[in-house]
Amino acid sequence: LHVPSWITGFIRKRQYQQHSECSPAEVAVMNCSGSSAKHFILVHGLGHGAWCWYKVVATLRAAGHRVTALDMAASGVHPARIDEVASFEDYSRPLLDAVAAAPDGERLVLVGHSLGGLSIALAMERFPRKVAIAVFVAASMPCVGKHMGVTVEEFMRRITPDFFMDSTTMVLNTGQGPRNAVTLGPNMLAAKVYEQSPAEDLELAKLLVRPGSQFMEDPIMKDKSLLTDANYGSVKRVFVIAMADTSTTKEMQRQMVDLSPGVEVEEIVGADHMAMLSKPRELCDVLIKIANEHD
């Protein structure tokens, strides 16, 4: 089939115009063959859901990648209530199932935000050969030789008694015994989580956040032997520091990095705790760069 030169010239011109509207990282991806496309799996933080990734999902897909944003159990539109989730493993089950179901040879890019860092750590331990790279975005990043809950314990040790402001804390009566949970309050969201994010995204969060638990009473959080060098420690990790995060400060984020020598670091200036909403384009550029460097 002969294609007239004026058509191919128009296509090239249109491709250039489309590329000129994109970031350098996205242009690099679109100039590559289809085989360069990555599969990103995105995991939200406490009380949130897959909905908080909507900007990142759209941008990564526009750049030619496959993206899966998941609701952990009792989060987002998942039908369970938080008191019905028996354990942190059950909470993380949607992620564990998604990674287990990935075709052989498809190496995943796991991205965990905040508490979601502990969920992707569990997936890395269970399925290390299915994960090409793990990205912790202002996230709880555990280290080999310490129990997973140590990151949450250190966070709770550093914050002031009034940190959660108008949030509602509760004790759930579950089949496994009492469990602490919290619903993040609108004033706290505005002052400490979404302070650099668009007002529309803050209002979306006020409508959609659900009660969440850090599962600190779960034995899995106290198991120092859970994460091993052979599995979790064998997966490349990158920590993305949200430089304007006032809930998990850059000093607190750096401390987690210091516990795991060899972890690479990226920084996003002006990003609050919800980097995917306050600096979505910058976060996507970082994710694409990381994925390409660790193919």
The one-letter amino acid at 247: S
Q: Single out the catalytic residue among 87, 114, 119, 197.
A: 114
Q: Single out the catalytic residue among 119, 273, 278, 294.
A: 273
Does the annotation mark 20 as catalytic? no
What lies within 8 Å, CB to CB, of 226 at 6+ separation is: 125, 147, 148, 220
Cα–Cα distances (Å) from 143 to 14, 80, 117, 195, 275, in that order, read 47, 30, 11, 30, 23
Compute the residue count for the chain.
295
Does the annotation mark 245 as catalytic? yes
Q: Which helix (H) or strand (E) holds 287?
A: helix 280-293
Q: Single out the catalytic residue among 71, 201, 218, 245.
A: 245
Distance CA(209)–CA(13), nearest Å, equals 44
Distance CA(155)–CA(273), nearest Å, equals 14
Distance CA(110)–CA(53), nearest Å, equals 13
Cα–Cα distances (Å) from 242 to 28, 54, 280, in that order, read 24, 18, 12
Does the annotation mark 114 as catalytic? yes
Closest CA relative to residue 116, chosen from 193, 220, 201, 46: 46
Side by side, the strands of the sheet bearing 108-113 are 66-70, 39-43, 108-113, 131-137, 237-242, 264-268
**Positions marked active-site:** 114, 245, 273
